[in-house]
Every structure is written in C-alpha cells, then in structure tokens.
Structure 1
Amino acid sequence: MNNSLQDTLALVGRILLAWLFVPAGFGKIAGFSGAVGYATSVGLPLPEVGVAVGLLIELVGGLMLLVGFMTRPAAVLLAFFTLVASFFFHAYWSLPADQAMMQQLMFNKNIAISGGLLAFAAFGAGRWSLDAKRQRV
C-alpha cells in the first residue's frame, strides 16, 4: 500500500474515531446532571467525578486523536477509558435475556473500538497529523 493511501486511511480513521468521542464529551457538558444520573443508576463509584473525568477524556482525547497530536498516548487513554466504561455501562451478563442482546452488541462494539485505538497507539497517526509535523521540525 502506498504512503498516500495509508495517510488517507489514517486520517479518515482518526476522524471516524473522534466522531464518537468528541460529541460524547460535549454531550456530557450539555447534560451533565443527566449523565451523572445514568452513571449513578449503573453503580459507577463517585459518579460526578467519573462523568467529569469521562468528559475530559472524551473531549480532549478525541480532539487530540482528531488532529493527530500525541496520538499514541491519547489512543491508549481512550482505549483504556472505553474498556472500563464498557464494563460499567454495557454489563450484558447481568441483564435479563430480553435486554442483554443490545448491551452485548454495545459491549462488543466498544471492544472493537478499543482495538482500533490500540492500532493507532502502535502505528501512530500517519503523515497528515500534528505528530508528523512536529517530527519534521
């Protein structure tokens, strides 16, 4: 695969992953109390703190991923956050069968997202990123 195609795919991949995290972070700003209520309902310890930390990770980490700035640590942090959140918010194994299927799908989706993020952690953001620009300077 040529570098131009790799760089295009890396950019599109970063945009698509950021599409998940950045709006979620803004959503937590706009609906903080609702997010805290939901976090409380699933048993998240210290729900206000958890939502605030999640908001920062999603918003800042998502923006870092989007522009390709410190992509590797941002991707690791987002992957870890996504895995932890999956166990709290998509615990399909503790639900009745009629509710478990959708939550299992969401859990598996988050596992796959974490895999994509870890690929960015392993291989970097590509040449069309602030990381690449910083290396050239």
Structure 2
Amino acid sequence: MTRAVDSGIILIARLALSVLFLWSGVMKLLGYGAFVAYLQSKGVPFVQIAAPIATAVEVLGGLMLIVGFLIRPLGLVMAVYTIATAVLGHDFWNVADAALQHDMVIHFWKNVGIAGGFLLLCVTGAGGASIDAARAPRRPLL
C-alpha cells in the first residue's frame, strides 16, 4: 500500500520524466526528416525502423507516464531505451572537439541518471494517482 504523500511524489516524478520524452517525441514528429538524417549521421542501423520506434517510444511512453499506465514494465523499457540513446546519440568517446566532447559527456551521464529514475519507477510502480492503481484488484476490508 502506498501512502498518499508517496503517490504524490511518484506522480511528480512521472510528470517530470514525461515532459522530457513527450516533448522530444513531438519534436521528432515535427522534424521527422531531420531526425532520420541525424540517425543516419550517427550510423544507427536500420534507420527506417529505428526512427519510428524511437518516436513512438518517446510519445507513447510520455503519455503512459502521465496517466500512470503499465508503469513497471514501462520503467524497464524506458531505462533500456535511455541507455541505448546515451550510447548511440552521446558517444563522447568518438568526439575529437573538446567542447563538443564535454557536452556529450554531460548528456551521456544525464541519460544514465534518467535511466536510474526509470528503474526506480519499475520498482515502485505508478503510485496511487494512476490508471495502474485504479485497475489493481481491491483487497476485502475484512
């Protein structure tokens, strides 16, 4: 059973994570051609498959975070996705320019930290303010 304050904090965490991914996913949709070109420039394999999957993960994942739907499995999926984007998109070990490399290091470790937040959601669940909580079987009072 989750205390009300815990549910409120978990809700704030879900919303904070959702803003980043929902915004990023919508930007990918609005500039889809540029996003595909970026993935190609990074050498991402199967770009025609990877681009729509990445966009869907961010948009749908962001929406699922907001409403608190399937948060435990979503937390694991989003943690793996966030680490994959860190490795593929912020590969500081391949950057020669010192200023750009510094920026990439920051973004890489930021993604690792975000993945940690998703792993916590995987363990804690969505909290009381969620579809998951509304769908959970109720225990009898007696």
Give TM-score, length-normalised by structure 1. 0.94
Structure 1 gaps, min length 5: none
SS state at 2:118 partner: helix
Determine the C-alpha separation between the residues in 2 that align with 1:98 and 1:14: 32
Structure of greater Rg = 2
SS state at 2:40 partner: helix
- CA shift, 1:61, in A, is 1.4
Q: Which residue of 1 aligns with 2:119?
A: 118
Q: Which residue of 2 aligns with 1:44?
A: 44
Quick one: which amino acid aligns to residue 129 of structure 2?
W
Quick one: which amino acid aligns to residue 135 of structure 1?
A
Give TM-score, length-normalised by structure 2. 0.91
Q: Please identify runs of 4+ aligned residues in structure 1 that moved more than 2 A.
A: none
Determine the C-alpha separation between the residues in 2 that align with 1:28 and 1:45: 18
Determine the C-alpha separation between the residues in 1 that align with 2:27 and 2:47: 16
The alignment's C-alpha RMSD in Å is: 1.3
Q: How does 1:1-137 map to 2 (within 5 A)?
A: 3-96=3-96, 97-136=98-137
Quick one: which amino acid aligns to residue 114 of structure 1?
A
**1:61–1:77 Cα contact (<8 Å) kept:** no
**1:61–1:75 Cα contact (<8 Å) kept:** no
- CA shift, 1:84, in A, is 0.5
Structure 2 gaps, min length 5: none
Superposed CA offset, 1:46-90 (max 9, x none):
222111100111111111111110011111111111111111110
